[in-house]
Structure 1
C-alpha cells in the first residue's frame, strides 16, 4: 500500500481538517517517517491549531486559526454564518495559496478527512492519496443488507461516498484511497474505483503505558471514562452535561464506588473543567488538588497525558465525542452517548454515530436518564 508514496521529490504535505483527523494523520506520518526517513514532512491543518503536528516537529505551511464551528458546518448550517464572520473565506484563500506555493517544488499530498482536504489535494496539481476518515458504508448498511429506519433519500448515490467525492478519488493523480473498513472498500471497488485499501489508523498506538496519573480506584469500583470531545468551547458545555449524567450514575450505583476518568484533550483548559466540577459539588482530594475530586460515592480524575490508559482501564464510557468514542468501542467496550447542543455532538451526529457503531453504543436522550 505504501508504494504510492514513492516519489521523485521526497516531500510530502499532509492536509487534514479536524482534531481527530490530525491525530490519525500523525499516526500515518510517524509510520511513514520510520519507513522513509528521507522524506520531508509538512502539514496544513485546515481546522484548528495543528498541535498534533507541532508535537511531532512537523512544520505547518500556513498560519492556523480556530473558527467558531470547529469544522462542523455540515452538522449545523447556522455555523456557516459564524465562520464567515470569523474569517472563513480569507483563511481558505490563504490556505489554498499556501498549497500552491508548496507544490511548486514538487512532492506528494496526503489528504486526511473528508471532501475538503481531498479537494485541496486535487487543487495542488500533485499526485495525492486520500484517507477517508468521516464516512463508512456502515452508516447505511451492514453485511446483511441496508439498515432499517434510514431517511428516504439514503443510498441514492449508490455509496456513502457521493459522486463528487468519488470524482476526486477517481482522478489519475489520486494514487490511493484508504477507507475505514472492508465493507466501504468493497462498495467503492464495485463502483469502479481502483487503488482502494481499507484500514483504520485511529486504532493504532493505543497501548497503555501504565501511567500513575489515573490514581488507584476504590475496591470493586465501576470505572467510567468521560469523553467531552476536543473542541472548545463545545467541549466545556459537553463536560457540564456529562457531569449531570454522572450524578445519575452515582445514584444508581450507590453505595458502590464509581471511578470516573476524564480523558481531556491537551488543547482544552483544565481550569474551565475544574470550575464546572466545583459548581457541581465535587471536592478536591487532599494532595491532588488539580486532578482528583470526590463526591458521594464518586471519584473523578482529570488527565491530559494518559489517554490510552483510560481507554483500557475503563469498563464503560459516557461520551460526547467522535474519534474517541470509536476508539473506545473499537476495544470492545460499551459507550453511552447523549446529544448536546453542538456544533459537533448534536442530535444528528449522535444518531449517525449510533448507526455507525450499532449495539456498541447506547443513545440516552436525557442526561438524567443515564443511570
Structure 2
C-alpha cells in the first residue's frame, strides 16, 4: 500500500478500462478490517476489479496486506474515531485538523471519480461503516454499495418487538420505524445505490420494507475466525469423562487501545481473582473441573510488560508450558495454584474457540465471541470506548449473550449461575448465532458486488 502519512494519488491507465475501478471508503479500524475481508474475497473472483482505498478515520493499516493504492490524505485523530461517544473527543479532533482532513478527502474522491470518467472506466464505490462514507459515496457521482456496520435494529428491538428503555431520548433512535433514519434510508435508496448489506437479518428485513436494496448475506466480522486446530480437539469417544477432565477456559478481552486497555486489564484481573476464589469452593458448580485456564487475547499493539506487571503483583508466577495448545510459540504462561493464565498476541482465533465464556471489555472482539454462540460477561470501564454508554448499547445489540455487571467481583456469581442453567446456555448459543450470522458473508457480498456494480 502507498505511503499512509502523505497524499498519494494513483490512477489506472486506460488499458484497465474493461475492469471495474472500485474505490473503498471506510471510517474506523474495525471497518477497515471488514473492508479488507470483502476485498480479499473480491480478488478471488474471476475478473476482479482494480481496487483503490481511502480510510476516512485513522491511517488504514489493515489495508497494507493488500498492497492497494491510497487516493488521498489520512491521519490519526486524538479520539481514535470514537467521537460519537463523547463531544469532548469531537472538539479534540476538530482542533487536530478534522475539518481540513475531511475537506481534502472529499476533494480526493471527486478527483478520483472524474479522472476515471475521463478515462472511460466503469467506476464503483464501496462504503463501509456509517453515514459518513455513505455520504461520500452518494455525492461522488459513481454507483455505490454500502456495508452498514454501525447500526442494527437490535439496538432498539428484538424479534418480539421494541425494547423497554429508561432513556427519555431513546425514542429518537427509532422515531421513523427503523434504526436507520429517513435521511440515511434516502441515501441508501438512490438509483446509484446498487446494494446495501446490513449486519443482520432483522435489520435487512426492516430496510427492505422501505424499498432499500438490502441483502441478507451475514456479517463479515464472523469471517476469518477459524482456529489453528480441529474444533473437536478436546473430545474422544468418552465425551462425558472428557468434559469432566478438561479445564474450564475463560478468555479475557481487554480491548485494543492503549492506555484504555491497560486500565481494562486491571479491572479484568480483579474479576479473575474473584472467579478463582469461587472455583476453589467445594460447593462450586466447577468442582468437577481440575483446573481453570484464562486466555488473555492481547492486541499486537499492546505491551506485554505492562500486562505482566499486573499479574506479578497479584501472585501469578511464570510457568514453562501452556496448559492448552495454542497456535503461538511466543505466548507467555503464568500459574497460581490450580489456575493458569496465558497471554498471546498471535492466537486470537484459538482464544475465541477454546473458551467456555469471556470476561470482556472490548468492542468487535466481544461481538465475535458472542457470534460463536458463547456467553460474555462485560464490565463497563472509563472509556473512551468501553464506557457505560457503549456497554449498555452493546448489551442491547447482543441481547442475552452479553451480561453486564457493575463491579468485577460480581463476575463469579454470574458464571456460577450460567453453568447451573444449561437451558440458558443453549438460548445464548442460539441467540449469538442469530445476531451475528454464519461465516462466509465476505464471499457472498463480493459475489453480489461483482454483479451489481
TM-score of the two chains, using structure 2 as the length reference: 0.73
Q: Which has the larger radius of gyration?
A: 2
> Secondary structure at the residue paired with 1:359?
helix
- Between 1:30-39 and 1:264-273, the stretch displaced more is 264-273
2:147 matched to which residue of 1? 131
What is the CA–CA distance in structure 2 between the aligned matches of 1:236 and 1:91, rounded to whole Å? 30
What is the CA–CA distance in structure 2 between the aligned matches of 1:82 and 1:267, rounded to whole Å? 23
Number of residues paired by the alignment?
359
CA drift at 1:311: 1.0
Distance 1:85 1:183, change over 3 A: same
Specify which of 180, 202, 215 is matched with residue 161 of structure 1: 180
Specify which of 199, 204, 215 is matched with residue 180 of structure 1: 199
What is the CA–CA distance in structure 2 between the aligned matches of 1:279 and 1:95, rounded to whole Å? 47
1:341 matched to which residue of 2? 382
Matching of residues 271-350 of structure 1 within 5 Å? 271-286=305-320, 291-350=332-391
> Secondary structure at the residue paired with 1:128?
strand
What is the CA–CA distance in structure 2 between the aligned matches of 1:123 and 1:26, rounded to whole Å? 23
Which sections of structure 2, spanning at least 5 residues, go unmatched?
A: 1-16, 117-122, 231-244, 282-289, 323-329, 413-453
What is the CA–CA distance in structure 2 between the aligned matches of 1:56 and 1:145, rounded to whole Å? 42
Specify which of 109, 112, 134 is matched with residue 99 of structure 1: 109
Q: Quick check: 2:174–2:181 contact (8 Å CA) kept in 1?
A: no
Deviations 1:65-122 (CA, angstroms, capped at 9, x unpaired) = 3222221111122211222233322322232233223323332111111111212222
Distance 1:324 1:37, change over 3 A: farther
CA drift at 1:331: 0.9
1:259 matched to which residue of 2? 293
Q: Quick check: 1:227–1:317 contact (8 Å CA) kept in 2?
A: yes
What is the CA–CA distance in structure 1 between the aligned matches of 2:297 and 2:69, rounded to whole Å? 27
What is the CA–CA distance in structure 1 between the aligned matches of 2:59 and 2:272, rounded to whole Å? 31
Distance 1:96 1:182, change over 3 A: same
CA drift at 1:55: 2.1
Distance 1:150 1:32, change over 3 A: farther
What is the CA–CA distance in structure 2 between the aligned matches of 1:353 and 1:40, rounded to whole Å? 36
Specify which of 175, 189, 210 is matched with residue 170 of structure 1: 189
CA drift at 1:364: 0.9
Distance 1:249 1:63, change over 3 A: farther
TM-score of the two chains, using structure 1 as the length reference: 0.88
Specify which of 364, 368, 371 is matched with residue 409 of structure 2: 368
Q: Quick check: 1:111–1:118 contact (8 Å CA) kept in 2?
A: yes
Q: Which has the higher strand share?
A: 1
Distance 1:241 1:179, change over 3 A: same
Q: Tell me whether 1:118 sits opposite 2:152 in the alignment.
A: no
Please report the RMSD computed on the Cα atoms of aligned residues, expressed in angstroms: 2.4
CA drift at 1:130: 0.5
1:239 matched to which residue of 2? 265
Matching of residues 187-206 of structure 1 within 5 Å? 187-206=206-225
Which sections of structure 1, spanning at least 5 residues, go unmatched?
A: 1-6, 212-218
1:227 matched to which residue of 2? 253
